[in-house]
Chain A
């Protein structure tokens, strides 16, 4: 149980284009989903928290117009990196919290984004 998937697992895009990453909770309903970013050999940095049906809450320093988050259903959240630049290259990881469990977060496998 508590499986979270991400798609794609890796993506390469050209500078200036947009990329969408999907995060799905496969066997539970996730009222809250989280998006993290991780640079090589570093820790996870929370980018934003999204609740189903409402606007995402962004961490300080994260541009909401650049990183668009949509949490349209209890099993799907998407992160769109708009007008991507090489400095956006990173490992993006989502996590989800089970509707019935207030504490645990279950992480997806991550998406490696490379902007050329």
Chain B
């Protein structure tokens, strides 16, 4: 089955700096890679996603890159703000099978 690894587990940055979170996956058949933001006591919120036929996608301060050959994808957040502080999960999916990384706790210091 699919195995998703996520690094780092915790990340602390200064407001205004960039943050990068990386994930690797094992199943080459995975074709959909979403990123979720989860705040304390709430459900995950989809913030950006990418499909296997695309190498990069950007939405304002958030971007995701995908390297299918190496089976890794990354989340990039630029100009971080304190409200970006949360736990971020990557996931890899094919059909109904979505597997999550262990999560990254991002702290943005004002």
Does B associate with A?
A: yes
Q: Which residues of B contact A104 (CB under 8 A)?
A: 34, 46, 49
| Shortest CB distance B78–A (Å) | 24
Interface of B, helix, strand, loop or mixed by DSSP: strand
Q: Which residues of B contact A46 (CB under 8 A)?
A: 98-99
Q: Which residues of B contact A42 (CB under 8 A)?
A: 102-103
Is A32 in the interface zone, CB < 8 Å from B?
A: yes
B101 with A103: CB separation less than 8 A? no
A107 with B43: CB separation less than 8 A? yes
- How many residues of B are in contact with the other chain, CB < 8 A? 20
CB nearest to A5 among chain B residues: B43
| Shortest CB distance B91–A (Å) | 8
Stretch at the interface among A11-19, A61-69, A75-83, A108-116: A108-116
Is A54 in the interface zone, CB < 8 Å from B?
A: no
Is A49 in the interface zone, CB < 8 Å from B?
A: yes
Residue ranges of B at the interface with A (Cβ–Cβ < 8 Å): 32, 34, 36, 41-46, 49, 51, 89, 93, 96, 98-103
